[in-house]
C-alpha cells in the first residue's frame, strides 16, 4: 500500500513540477509546447548542465529531437531569465534553472565550488549603477580564486621553501 501511495505522490510531484514550468513559460510570454516543457524540465534546480547534457536528457524523452533546437531553446530561456548560462571553468558553458539569484566561488586549483550569497553582490550591482548608469543583470556570478584549503597548502609550501 505504501508503494502505491509513494507512486501517486511522485506522480503528483511530477505533474505539479510540469505545471510550475508551464506557468514560468507563460509568465515570460512564451507558448507552452511539449518540447519547451521537456527542455526546461531537463534542467534540475541546483545542477549545472552543459548543453550536450541537456540534449542527452531531452533526446531520451523525445527521440529524434534536433540538437540545434535544444541549443536555441536554451539560449531563449537564458534571454528570458529562466535559466542562467555560466562558465564554471574549463571553457564549457553550464545552464542552471534560476529559482533565485545565486553565485559561486570556484577554486581554480581543486575545483571546489562554494555558494556565495546574493546579498553580497547587491553592493556591486548598486556601484555599477551609480558609477556607470548601467543596470547589471547579475543572476549567476562565478568568481575564481583559491579555497581556504588550497590557500593554506600554498602558505605551508611557502614556509617549507623558506627553510
Task: Label the pairing between strands 103-107 and 142-145.
Answer: parallel
Report how far Cα 8 is from the mean position of its chain's Cα atoms. Answer: 29
Each residue's pLDDT tens digit, 85-107: 877 766 778 888 887 777 889 89
Q: Cα–Cα distance between 56 and 154 in angstroms, integer?
A: 40
Domains of the chain with CATH codes: 1-99 (1.10.10.10), 101-163 (3.30.1490.190)
**In whole numbers, what is the pLDDT of the chain averaged over residues?**
81
Stretch (H or E) spanning 87: strand 83-87
**What global pTM score does this model have?**
0.64
Using 50, 70 and 90 to split pLDDT, how confident is the model at 158? low
Whether residue 33 has pLDDT greater than 60 = yes
Pick 56 or 12 by higher pLDDT. 56
Residue 67's pLDDT is: 94
Amino acid at each position: 500500500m505504501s508503494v502505491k501511495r509513494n507512486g501517486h505522490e511522485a506522480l503528483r510531484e511530477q505533474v505539479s513540477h510540469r505545471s510550475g514550468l508551464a506557468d514560468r513559460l507563460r509568465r515570460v510570454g512564451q507558448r507552452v509546447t511539449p518540447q519547451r516543457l521537456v527542455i526546461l524540465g531537463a534542467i534540475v534546480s541546483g545542477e549545472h548542465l552543459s548543453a550536450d547534457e541537456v540534449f542527452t536528457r531531452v533526446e531520451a524523452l523525445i527521440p529524434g529531437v534536433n540538437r540545434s533546437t535544444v541549443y536555441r531553446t536554451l539560449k531563449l530561456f537564458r534571454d528570458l531569465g529562466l535559466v542562467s548560462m555560466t562558465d564554471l571553468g574549463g571553457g564549457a558553458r553550464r545552464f542552471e534553472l534560476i529559482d533565485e539569484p545565486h553565485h559561486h566561488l570556484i577554486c581554480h586549483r581543486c575545483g571546489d565550488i562554494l555558494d556565495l550569497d546574493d546579498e553580497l553582490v547587491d553592493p556591486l550591482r548598486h556601484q555599477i549603477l551609480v558609477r556607470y548608469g548601467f543596470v547589471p543583470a547579475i543572476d549567476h556570478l562565478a568568481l575564481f580564486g583559491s579555497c581556504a584549503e588550497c590557500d593554506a597548502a600554498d602558505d605551508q609550501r611557502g614556509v617549507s621553501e623558506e627553510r
